[in-house]
Amino acid sequence: MKSKSERLRLAMEHVSRGDAEGFADVLLAENVVWHWPGRSSVSGDYHGHDEVIGLVRGFHELTGNTLRIEPLDVLEGRDYLMSFTRATGQRDGRDLDVVMADAMRFGADGRVEEFWTLSNDQEAVDSFIG
């Protein structure tokens, strides 16, 4: 079984290639709950693979496939993983460049069952997404 950190690294590679299905297959439990913060059009909770895949696909459509996720630091525990990632993308002549703090709770099968994220500049993320 891959470590949580290895799964996350592979999943980020999938996201940066625009492969939302590969991201979900590598990292997420079927019953995952994903909490997206802020006050944008996508803020809220997403339940299961299909909803999360739709969210990730939407980010790629929004950015014209310029979304890139780069791991910075990862803190791994028994049931949880905390990662800090740099997220960049372009939209309508605007750039997004933020650091995301992501907390993940893993199940016994080594996949994420619950995911929380927060940006170092949530207002910029909300404005960028709309």
What is the per-residue DSSP string for 11-80? Answer: HHHHHHTT-HHHHHHHHEEEEEEEEE-SSSTT-EEEEHHHHHHHHHHHHHHHTTT--EEEEEEEEE-SSE
Torsion angle (degrees, nearest 10) of CA 50, 56, 60, 61: 50
Query: Total domain count for the chain?
Result: 1
- What per-residue confidence (pLDDT) applies to 122? 96
pLDDT at 1 over 90: no
What digits encode the pLDDT tens for the residues 65-113? Answer: 999 999 899 999 999 999 999 999 999 999 999 999 999 999 999 999 9
What CATH number is given to the structural domain containing 16? Answer: 3.10.450.50
What digits encode the pLDDT tens for the residues 36-65? Answer: 999 999 999 999 999 999 999 999 899 999
Note down the domain range covering 120. Answer: 4-129
pTM for the model stands at 0.90
Q: In whole angstroms, what is the distance from residue 9 CA to residue 76 CA? A: 13
